[in-house]
Amino acid sequence: MSEPRKSRIDPSIIAAVIGVCGTVMVTLITLVINQRAPQTTPPPSTTIWTPIPTSTITDTPVPTTTVPAGDATSTPVPATLTPEPTFTPPPPPSLGEDWENDCISVSWMPFPLIDTTETNGCRSQPIHSLFAANGRLDFVIQGRFENTEQYGMFAKLPAHGTAKIEVFLTNLQDGEIWTGVFAQPDITSQGIIVVIPPGDVKNRPLVQKTMPGQIQYFETQSFAQNSAIYNVEFQFGSGSVGTVIMGETVVDPVPVGSTEQWLFIGYQVKKGNNRMQAAFLNLEVQEQ
């Protein structure tokens, strides 16, 4: 009995299978190598610099809140401004008290008018030779004048009241001391004056005159005054002025044509040589 024939694989088939496997392995190895290899970086491109234009920033007003339709119109509430406190200067020194503080109050109006500066309610001094010192208002006049002239100061008085004043004489030659009340701050307006004429300072009469025109209305006897101090009180109101001279001589009221009264203190120089030295003191103005 013959032996069975062994089957054999064709060598060409084996070679073909080996070739295919080799091809697959080469392909796989190539893919792996390509994945692990570094990737080539492309060369940088050339950049051309172009300046960026500067933008201008402007303040844009913020729109106000728009009131939705149907709602009441909203009215903006204005900001409340707090007023700055204003400086209120203190009142000027009162008449009479100003002299006690070596001051001529701005309440006094020079006659004739002249320019003065003001500091703390006081005028610059002297005013027509009048100056406040040692609690009184002094003046000294010595020289020659070409004409008869009047100098002094006015101060407005209350509607009703009294004004008392004293005059101390040191020297009185060729001049007169005047005190009076006028309807306006002008000696040419209607009023009265009480005059101390020149002479012995310790023995003088006082003469009351109506103005304008210096018309003599009343003259007292001479008063012997070792102190050389003379006093006058004016009582004013309702358009008239009465006087009490030296505390004992009462002169009937005289109309001044106005319910407004102005106190005058001063002096009159006459044409030629004049020598006067006196002081006004203890002025008291009281409203009634």
Check the CA dihedral 119-122-128-133 and report its sign. negative
Stretch 180-187: mean pLDDT: 96
* CA angle (155 as vertex; 243, 204 as ends), nearest 5: 40
DSSP lists the bridge partners of residue 216 as 209
pLDDT: which is higher, 66 or 10: 10
pLDDT for 89 equals: 73
- Percent pLDDT > 70 in the chain is 72
Stretch 277-288: mean pLDDT: 96
DSSP 126: -
**CA-to-CA distance for 222 and 119, rounded, in angstroms?**
42
Stretch 29-33: mean pLDDT: 60
pLDDT for 285 equals: 97
pLDDT: which is higher, 264 or 53: 264
pLDDT tens by residue, 57-72 = 455 555 555 555 555 5
DSSP 283: E
Q: Is CATH 2.60.120.200 what the domain over 107-287 is classified as, yes or no? A: yes
pLDDT: which is higher, 182 or 89: 182
Q: What is the pTM of this model?
A: 0.70
pLDDT tens by residue, 199-216 = 999 999 999 999 999 999
| Distances from the Cα of 35 to the Cα of 18, 41, 42, 43, angstroms | 26, 15, 18, 21
- In the predicted model, what is the mean pLDDT of the chain? 84
**CA-to-CA distance for 94 and 107, rounded, in angstroms?**
8
Per-domain boundaries in the chain: 107-287
What confidence tier does 20 reach under pLDDT thresholds 50, 70, 90? low
- Per this entry, what is the length of the chain? 288
Asked whether the beta carbons of 204 and 223 are under 8 A apart, the reply is yes
